[in-house]
Amino acid sequence: MSKILAINAGSSSLKWRLIEMPTEKVIAKVAAERIGQAIGTIKVVGNGFKVVREMPVPSHHEAVQMLLKTLTEQKIINDFSEIGGVGHRVVAGGEIFHQSTLIDEHVLEQIESLAEYAPLHNPAEAEGIRAFMAALPGVPEVAVFDTSFHQTLSEVNYLYSIPYDYYQQYGARKYGAHGTSYRYVSQRAAELVQQPLQDLKMVVAHLGNGVSLDAIKDGQSYNTSMGFTPLAGVTMGTRAGDIDASLVAHLQEKLNLTTEQMIDVLNTKSGLLGLSGVSSDMRDLLAKEATNHRAKIAVEIFVDRIVQYIGAYVAQLNGLDTLVFTAGIGENESEIRLRICQSLGYLGVEIDEEINAKTRGVEQLISTPTSKVKVLVVPTDEELMIARDVVELGQIESQDLKVAHAQK
Ligand code: ADP
């Protein structure tokens, strides 16, 4: 047995899962929040225990030290040698990383060099990686990129219709996001419908705070709705999604904003929040839509943009076998799933409304036996995918794994 840490580092937070492999059992969820602020939080939650400490957490390095110490103090692990490997979610892998990669100094420098593609994420992730390399020397560290799943897109799908030189000189193209989620969900959906993923024309709708759609063909990402950054595509919690670039320039002038301020408006004050003026959270909007026009229109636009993208992807895939819902809204909001699917009747999509209404946060086929398209809910599990990549790339306790598989 080996214990793997799957890490998600933000600019002021570090979140991890400690996962036992090959059983894939989650042992603990661990988080440091408000790093760099006067008072931060250290949280460790597992089966039957919860430790929450308020204290200053000055940097990612200190956060890693404090969290590791809490793991041993709470006897979740006896010593660090039990940790077989560490996997890190990295937002931007550019065109450099087509798959998850074992980290050495050169790889770390490449992750840092991609900071201009994800200024809020890659530097924080690199700092998190450095902190773990210092705290756990000799333990394999693996980078798992949000973009790598989409490196299979063809030029036709990843190029923007702007001068080609800009792609060559500045990397101006679509990179997509949510790739680790799509990799997990598409594999799991194929298992659930008992067909090889390679044979399925599939659309996965990842509906969380960040929202994107992915068209999957031949087992690979064929097209995806996020773009150069996660700002493109459909309406999201606080992000605008697709918008005419001239309108952005027009508003920037009218509002007298810098480019950075304008992009911030599109990232943090738009989407469901900007439209409704009520909330970025779908639960709040569904609760208010009957009495609040702006909440109602926000939900309608949310559903409409998703329906538009699904239609575009069905055209590109030349058909659809499987439609999958995942992430906060996709897993929990049956009403949103229903409204999307009701607009897809022309494809032969038929939902079992009773089963759909009861499905929250669990794997479930929600289409009727006669539906031409199988519609599923599959809760995403990016951390598990990260842990699997660590085991594979780090060749961790391969003997133990072989024994475990032989015994199955
Ligand atoms: P993120 O993209 O930040 O990971 P989530 O996947 O947690 O976000 O999705 C958040 C969205 O999911 C919110 O709009 C929220 O209203 C919606 N949602 C609906 N039901 C739930 C639930 N039971 N738990 C979490 N989110 C939910």
Distance 363 CA to ligand 1 centre (A): 16
The reply to whether ligand 1 has any atom less than 6 angstroms from the CB of 293 is no
Ligand 1 neighbourhood includes 327 CB (under 6 angstroms): yes
Same domain, 208 and 341: yes
d(CA 274, CA 281): 12
Domain range for residue 202? 196-377
Please state the domain count of the chain.
2
Q: How confident is the model at residue 148 (pLDDT cuts 50, 70, 90)?
A: very high
For 150-160, what is each residue's pLDDT tens digit? 999 999 999 99
Position 171 in a domain:
no
Residue 403 lies in a domain: no
Whether 387 and 353 share a structural domain:
no
Confidence band of 373 (pLDDT split at 50, 70, 90)? very high
Asked whether residue 91 is domain-assigned, the answer is: yes
331-345: average pLDDT: 98
Q: Ligand 1 pocket, 282 CB below 6 A?
A: yes
Atom 20, ligand 1: residue with shortest CA distance: 332
- Tell me the pLDDT of the chain averaged across its residues: 93
Q: pLDDT (tens digit, 9 = 90+) per residue, 281-328?
A: 999 999 999 999 999 999 999 999 999 999 999 999 999 999 999 999
Residues annotated in the binding site, as ranges? 8, 15, 89, 206-210, 281-283, 328-332, 382
Interval 230-238 mean pLDDT: 96
Question: Per the annotation, where are the binding residues for substrate?
Answer: 89
Percent of the chain with pLDDT over 90: 83
Q: What is the CATH number of the domain that holds 105?
A: 3.30.420.40
Residue nearest to atom 12 of ligand 1 (CA): 328
pLDDT (0 to 100) of residue 83: 94
Cα 283 to middle of ligand 1, angstroms: 8
| Residue 406 pLDDT | 40
Residue 159 placed within a domain? no
In this structure, which amino acid lies at residue 273? L
Pick from 332-336, 376-380, 384-388, 403-407: least confident:
403-407
Ligand 1 pocket test, candidate residues 15, 17, 332, most atoms within 8 A of CB: 332
Residue 147 CA, ligand 1 centroid: distance in Å: 22
> Distance between CA 130 and CA 125 in Å, rounded?
9
Q: What is the pLDDT of residue 397?
A: 55
Residues 117 and 227 in one domain: no
Tell me if 276 CB under 6 Å of ligand 1: no
37-75, pLDDT tens digit by residue? 889 999 999 888 899 999 999 988 899 998 888 889 888
Q: Is residue 120, in this structure, part of any structural domain at all?
A: yes
Q: Is residue 369 part of a domain?
A: yes
Q: Are 52 and 30 in contact (CB under 8 A)?
A: no
Q: Ligand 1 pocket: which of 17, 273, 329 to mutate (most atoms <8 Å of CB)? A: 329
Span 3-43, pLDDT tens digits: 999 998 877 888 899 999 999 999 999 999 998 888 999 99
Q: Are residues 209 and 102 in the same domain?
A: no
- Are 14 and 93 members of one domain? yes
